[in-house]
Chains A and B, each alone.
Chain A
Amino acid sequence: MISVMASELFKLRKKIRAWLGPLLIMILVLIAFPLSIDISQYDLNKFYFSIIVISLLVISFLATETMFVEDFEDGTLEQIYLQERDFYKLALAKVLIYVLLIGVPMSLIGSLFSFANGVDASQLPQIFITLIFSTLLLFNLFAFGAALSINKGAMLGVLATLPLALPVIILLGRAIRAVQFGNGFYEIMALMIGAGLLVAALVPLVISITLRTHLE
């Protein structure tokens, strides 16, 4: 398992566009939003978080869109199948590496931007943890979408998995409000961490079945 993760890390690191791209786009979006409104008129603190949440959603989708295409098209998937006979390890490793290399920086960026909009320094760690587990959830779900649509393009993946992502968004919004108003944070976090771990363990299984179906 470690070796699979090491290979995936090695490959993703080499594909600079694949990990740097989403991060830069996220920064652009987070800068673009205040530029598009009259800052003096609005209390940015109140709804800037919504932009952070939406950008997390969209960028998570962008980042995972082509997760499996490459392996499918160059024959690597078949070779892996011959050795392992299933794709659980591959799916798990890929998702975890993507979360580590892209999701964690995304959460960092999101937290820093929230800081720039009136959040207390003491709340930063809580926001960061919330965002990390949200990306864990979102990356898993969108990875499933990517596995379903493989090389049929982005639209399919979105349509198929956006409904799955919406509960995560609701959860994330609730968690952020809990941080802002200081109530019920630990309960929400417990739910989020539990859901995150469960999803991270189970979704690769579904991804494995889906990839196997594509191979036939």
Chain B
Amino acid sequence: MTAKLLPYIASCGLLLLLTGWVWGLAFAPEDAVQGNSYRIIFLHVPASIFAQAIYLFMSICAVMSVVWRVKLAAYLIKSAASVGALITFIALFSGSIWGIPTWGTWWQWDARITSTLILFIMYLGVITLHGSFSNLEKADRLMSILVIVGLVNIPIIKKSVDWWSTLHQPASITVSGAPTIDPSMLYPLFVSILGMGLVLISLGILSSRLHILGREKNKKWVQSYE
């Protein structure tokens, strides 16, 4: 089923993402303070949002895998982890690039950046853990346990790192309040977020299909494909 949908999701996603980017990059006005360099937010913000959202997705799968032993959930965790690691890296990298014109430095040890870095390492930890065990059912279960423990840790990390320092720009899009950035910048941002989401989903689907085929290769439905 996903085979049919995939081209649509992928192309929709790419289209949206590109639209958001072109709009944001070429047509949105210059920022009063930051000039043109702010435009990286069209990559950075969606990336950061999904870096965390994917972990949440992974934890839901992890719970399903551990409690109800749903095999598909376990396969999804592995794919989600790779996609998550990638997008977190992109978030960190784009944030670094943004840092140069705005703060004059590649790196700052502030709350959000540090938590994102820790999130990146957590993704890598999950991937490494799963890859270390040859008994795949055992690997799935251990990975799910780690993801769930990590989930408990995320608010702890956020609170503690926040407590420790803060320099990051306060959020300009809040759920309850009115956004503090101009609509002409906001709309391309939303479009980019949506676009990136779809691109990531399609990446995830591609990756999961590979995993599922690999894991189920002895089952009849796979062999009948050939």
Complex contact flag A–B (Cβ < 8 Å) = yes
Selecting from A18-26, A81-89, A165-173, the interface stretch reads: A165-173
- Cβ-closest chain A residue relative to B123: A163
Chain A residues in 8 Å Cβ range of B125: 159-163
Q: Which of B3-11, B16-24, B159-167 contacts A (4 or more CB under 8 A)?
A: B159-167
**B90 part of interface (Cβ distance < 8 Å):** no
A163 near B129: Cβ-Cβ < 8 Å: no
Q: Known contacts being A148-B129, A152-B133, is A160 close to B146, with CB within 8 Å? A: yes
A178 within 8 A of B: no
Residues on the B chain within 8 Å of A156, using CB: 128-129, 132
Interfacial residues of chain B within 136-160, with CB under 8 A of chain A in the complex: 137-138, 141-142, 145-146, 149-150, 153, 156-157, 160
Confirm or deny: A46 has a beta carbon within 8 angstroms of a beta carbon on chain B. no
C-beta contact mask, A9-37 vs B, less than 8 Å → 1, else 0? 00000000000000000000000000000
Considering the chains assembled together, what is the distance between the CA atoms of A200 and B15 in angstroms? 51
Q: How far is the CB of B136 from chain A (nearest CB, A)?
A: 12
Let me know if B142 and A166 touch, CB within 8 A: no
8 Å CB contacts to A: which residues of B151-191? 153, 156-157, 160-161, 163-164
Interchain CA distance A109-B1 in the complex, whole Å: 63
- Interface pair B121/A162, CB less than 8 Å apart: yes
How far is A100 from B157 in the complex, measured between Cα atoms in Å? 27
A172 to B157, CA, bound (A): 14
Q: B124 at the A/B interface (Cβ < 8 Å)?
A: yes
Determine chain A's interface SS by DSSP, over half rule: helix
- Produce 1/0 per residue, A148-189, CB < 8 A to B: 110010011001111110110011001000000000000000
User: Is A206 on the interface with B (CB-CB < 8 A)?
Assistant: yes
Pick from A152, A163, A170, A171 the residue with the most CB of B within 10 Å: A163
- Cβ–Cβ contact A163 & B122, under 8 A: yes
Contacts of B118 in A (CB 8 A): 163, 166
Tell whether, in the assembled complex, residue A163 and residue B153 are in contact, meaning their CB atoms are under 8 Å apart. yes
Q: Does A213 belong to the interface (CB within 8 Å)?
A: yes
Q: Which residues of A contact B129 (CB under 8 A)?
A: 148-149, 156, 159-160
- Given known contacts A166-B118, A210-B145, A214-B138, is B132 in contact with A149 (CB within 8 Å)? yes
B22 → chain A closest CB, angstroms: 37
Q: Cβ of A171: which chain B residues have Cβ within 8 Å of it? A: 160
State whether the Cβ of A38 lies closer than 8 Å to any Cβ in chain B: no
Q: A152-B133, A159-B125, A163-B122 are in contact. Are A213 and B138 (CB under 8 A)?
A: yes
A213 touches B149 (CB 8 A): no
A133 interface hit (Cβ, 8 Å): no
- Identify which of B141, B153, B163 contacts A170 (C-beta below 8 A): B163
**A149→B133 CA distance, assembly (Å):** 9
Instruction: Tell whether, in the assembled complex, residue B145 and residue A206 are in contact, meaning their CB atoms are under 8 Å apart.
Output: yes
**A119 interface residue, CB < 8 Å from B?**
no
Of B145, B153, B156, B163, which contacts A148 at CB under 8 A?
B145
Q: Do residues A159 and B124 form an inter-chain contact, with CB atoms below 8 A? A: yes
- Per the bound structure, the CA–CA distance linking A209 and B121 in Å amounts to 23
Of all chain B residues, which has the CB nearest A203? B149
Q: Does A144 contact B (CB under 8 A)?
A: yes
Give the CA-CA distance A174 to B133 in the complex, in Å: 38
CB distance from B146 to the nearest CB of A (A): 6
CA distance A216 to B137 in the complex (A): 10
Taken residue by residue from 182 to 216, chain A's Cβ proximity to chain B (1 for < 8 Å, 0 otherwise) reads as: 00000000000000000000000010011001101
Binding site for A on B (CB under 8 A): 118, 121-122, 124-126, 128-129, 132-133, 137-138, 141-142, 145-146, 149-150, 153, 156-157, 160-161, 163-164
5 closest Cβ contacts across the A-B interface? A167-B160, A159-B125, A160-B125, A170-B160, A213-B141
Query: Other than the known A144-B149, A160-B128, A216-B138, what 11 A-B pairs have Cβ atoms closer than 8 Å?
Result: A159-B124, A160-B125, A160-B126, A160-B146, A163-B150, A170-B160, A174-B164, A209-B145, A210-B142, A213-B145, A214-B142
Cβ contacts A to B, 15 pairs, < 8 Å: A144-B149, A148-B142, A149-B129, A152-B132, A159-B125, A159-B129, A160-B126, A161-B125, A163-B150, A166-B118, A167-B156, A167-B161, A209-B145, A213-B141, A213-B145
